[in-house]
Amino acid sequence: MKKLVLGLIAVAVVAGGAYLAMHRTPSGVGAPAMTDRGVPNPLRVATEGAYPPFNVAEPDGTLKGFEIDLAKDLCRRMGVTCEIAAQAWDGIIPGLQAGKYDVILAGMSATDERRQAVDFTVPYVLTPAYFVAPKDSPLTKIDFGLQRLDLANLDEASTQALDKLKAALKGKTVGVQVATIHANFLDTYLGDTVTIRRYDTLQNLSLDLATGRVDAGLADMTGWQPFLEGTDGQNAATFGPGITGGLLGPGIAAALRKDDGRLLDALNNAITAAKEDGTMKKLAEQWFHFDASAK
């Protein structure tokens, strides 16, 4: 009898907690409203909120940044309202899969590996990857003989520049943000000659560039821009060619669930339209101070 009572209490407590935790979707019974082109209205957008100038939180709790303005523009084009919320990185993909929001704009690089789990739109930002080192480092004095290096199209000059890079960085410590396309690049092309340090954020990598714990860092230009423009970055400079193509992928894109084909089409159309009428270029120049938009 006692056990029965104890068991019943346990069930009641758990059920009570579950009841409190449940609430129906905001629009009531059933799925949220849709436009006739299959776009949920409102469109729920998640971003990270700590990655300037893409997305960053303000002291009053609001969000701003390139991706916030872009999301609003895309929603306007699709005729829906945007609900943009910040979500910590560690929960951002499970939240998408669990249906907490419909699309993520958070500076995510589209890669084939990630396409197994989510769909990506066409890219909206694409900038070359650059190495950065302290200005007084001999690395910044080397002449690599070319401005751009396309990994998808390695001609003789590019191969020479790549070899030169390899020789210059031999035995050095190079920092990179963990699990990025840039980490892939280091693993593939320089993995056997340099020590790779993997940072959770670019900002922490910047701190260690300043203290000299790493000899150089690799990231794309939009990532370096806030550091190089800030006070800490005055003693640092890029070196070597801007690297694009190949495993560096097509650029930064919005991510959505795999079963959302109609939303994907609508977003792709809106992004393409924003590129064609010059909005994308304008927003990029406003936030990055140069045209970082994907072509």
Partner 1 sequence: MLDLLGFGGRGWGLQLLQGMGMTVLVAVSAYLWGLLLGGMAATLKLSGHRGGRVAADVYTTIVRGVPSLLVIYLLFFGGNSAATWVATLLGFNGPVELSALPVGILAVGTVSGAYSAEVLRGGALAVPHGQVEAAKALGMGRWLTFRRVLLPQTLRYALPGLGNVWQLTLKDTSLVSVVALVELMRVAYLAQGATRQPFLFFTTAGLLYLGLAGLSGRLFARAEVWAGRGVRRAAR
Partner 2 sequence: MNSPLLSALMAALPQFVSGTWLTVQLVALSLLLGLVLATLVAVLRLSHLTPVSWAARGYIHVFRSTPLLVQIFLIYYGLGQFDAVRQSVLWPLLREPYWCAIIAFTLNTGAYTAEIMRGGIEAVPHGQVEAARACGMNGALLFRRIILPQAFRQALPAYGNEIILMLQGSALASIITLMELTGVAKAIAARTFQPIEVFCLAGAVYLGMSFVITRGVHLAERRLNPARK
Binding site for partner 1 (CB under 8 A): 2-3, 6, 10, 13, 17-18, 20-25, 29-31, 49-52, 56-59, 61, 85-88, 90-91, 94-95, 97-100, 201, 203-204, 207, 226, 230, 232
Whose Cβ is closer to partner 1: residue 47's or residue 184's? 47
> Judged by CB, which is closer to partner 1: 91, or 278?
91
Indicate the residue among 183 and 248 with the shorter CB distance to partner 2: 183
User: Nearest-CA neighbor of 43 among 8, 73, 3?
Assistant: 73
Closest to 51 measured CA to CA, from 88, 104, 106, 132 = 106
157: left (phi over 0), alpha (psi -120 to 50) or beta: alpha
DSSP string, 146-198: -SEEETTS--HHHHHHHHHHHHHHTT-EEEEETTSHHHHHIIIIITTTSEEEE
**What's the closest the beta carbon of residue 192 comes to partner 1, in angstroms?**
33
Of the candidates 134, 138, 136, 157, which has an alpha carbon nearest to the alpha carbon of residue 147? 157
Binding-site partner at residue 79 among partner 2, partner 1, none, CB < 5 to 8 Å by type: none
The site partner of 156 among partner 2, partner 1, none (C-beta below 5 to 8 Å per kind) is: none
Considering beta carbons, is residue 161 or 205 the nearer one to partner 2? 205
Picked from partner 1, partner 2, none, the partner binding residue 200 (CB below 5 to 8 A depending on kind) is partner 2
Do residues 235 and 150 lie in contact, with contact meaning Cβ atoms separated by under 8 Å? no
Helix (H) or strand (E) holding 245: none
Within its chain, how far is the Cα of 49 from the centroid?
A: 11
Residue 120 contact among partner 1, partner 2, none, beta carbon within 5 to 8 Å by kind: none
- The residue with tokens 């029965």 is 4
From the list partner 2, partner 1, none, which binds 276 (C-beta under 5 to 8 Å, kind-based)? Answer: none
Residue numbers at the binding site for partner 2 (CB under 8 A): 90, 93-94, 111, 113-114, 116-118, 175, 178-179, 183, 197-200, 204, 207-208, 211-213, 255
Complex with partner 1: residue 91 or 145, whichever CB lies closer: 91
Residue 36 burial (CB < 10 Å; 0-12/13-18/19+)? exposed
Closest distance between partner 2 and the C-beta of residue 24, in Å? Answer: 25
In the complex, least distance from residue 178 CB atom to partner 1, rounded to whole angstroms: 16
